[in-house]
A and B are shown apart, each in its own frame.
Chain A
């Protein structure tokens, strides 16, 4: 018995070390650059989605204190618009690759404040939550310099040339993986809460039929279609079961590169069907999933193409190389043309 326990602990320890080594393994800059730009563009879409100055028309008596800023005195319309403009300026900094890290922090903070204020009206809004949560780890990613080396003052010691002319750094490796872990965790939690509060009744009862029937009038496409779906035998249970399986399976599906794109496609189909049936727009969720997936999970051939495009552009527009960059072998913009594959 003790041998079995010892063997199990030994195996668990070995798996843990393998997992940890994979998490902190150095990575190439391509995925980080792509992920940062993609997330910033989605943040820009969200910042442009509302007239944020309307928040100023809500009195304090009708503001919920779901977070720290909920306790502050009301912000004026001009301050709200200024926060929006600062956020969009941050996005621009990311896209043109001038202080992209600071730019992402600015845009993230801007959306965090504005979406939080907008949602402090009595109902907790989840629309922007996955985007904000998945972007959080990327805020820590240091910017590669023009030659796609860690910038001046960066952790030069964790950088390793891999013989193909492309540097790797720990900061570029773990940030996309952490974003992936956050996305998987959020979807898993949405599934876990269904099981926790309703159990398998959530799938095998008439639950989904009633969800569809009660939300049919909000359908932007066809309430009749939604009612027909709700009345089709077994279909509502299949939809519920598929959604729950997808959410609970998210960590595993995102763990392996070949299943990441399938997960992104399935999640997109799920959120679009929610919009078709109930009129609820979760586009920031599936856009975020695609951003993280394309940065970390594309097939080998496409990854090479992606990195060539991203890094060639980075080499043209990125900040100047810092003093530490010249020490790396194979530096210079031309070396980026030979990036074979980024393995996120």
Chain B
């Protein structure tokens, strides 16, 4: 039977060496699985160009609105799921759109079409004004 000192030292080594080793392995494998992280904070090089996807709704009268108005502290970040819309089933898509529409005060009954635009932007190095340099529709769906 292990004596208390050996047991204490074993626990000490297990945690003191094991925890940093585990952090290192997870980071090198590149896994982000809470509460483990690859710690890729600002790790890519930025340039003057950025790109994002934008959800746009069209109404029956021909007007359009970008769904960028979500203000809910938790739901705001779910807009990162927009690129998934083309791949999900109809029920999931309705739940996703319904959640965002509700927070943006958009009446889903008035919406006839939704689409996702890929927007390329560039920051002018002199004026610091951001301009859209390219717009590509990557998904277009009639509701």
Contact = CB atoms under 8 A, between A and B. Distances in A.
Contacts of B72: 54, 57
Nearest to A223: B128
Interface residues of B, number: 52
A185 B23 contact: yes
Nearest to B16: A178
B23 to A, nearest CB: 5
Given A122-B78, A213-B123, A50 B41 contact: no
Contacts of A184: 20
A193 B16 contact: no
Interface in A191-218: 192-194, 196-198, 201-202, 205-207, 210-211, 213-214, 216
Contacts of A23: 12-13, 16-17
Interface residues of A, number: 69
Interface stretch (A3-11, A111-119, A291-299, A328-336): A111-119
A171 interface: yes
A13 B9 CA distance: 19
Contacts of B27: 189, 192-193
A309 interface: no
29 contacts: A23-B13, A50-B73, A54-B72, A57-B74, A59-B99, A61-B99, A62-B78, A62-B96, A66-B33, A66-B34, A67-B34, A122-B79, A126-B41, A129-B37, A137-B15, A137-B16, A178-B19, A182-B19, A184-B20, A186-B23, A189-B23, A190-B39, A190-B41, A193-B39, A193-B43, A197-B43, A202-B45, A213-B128, A214-B50
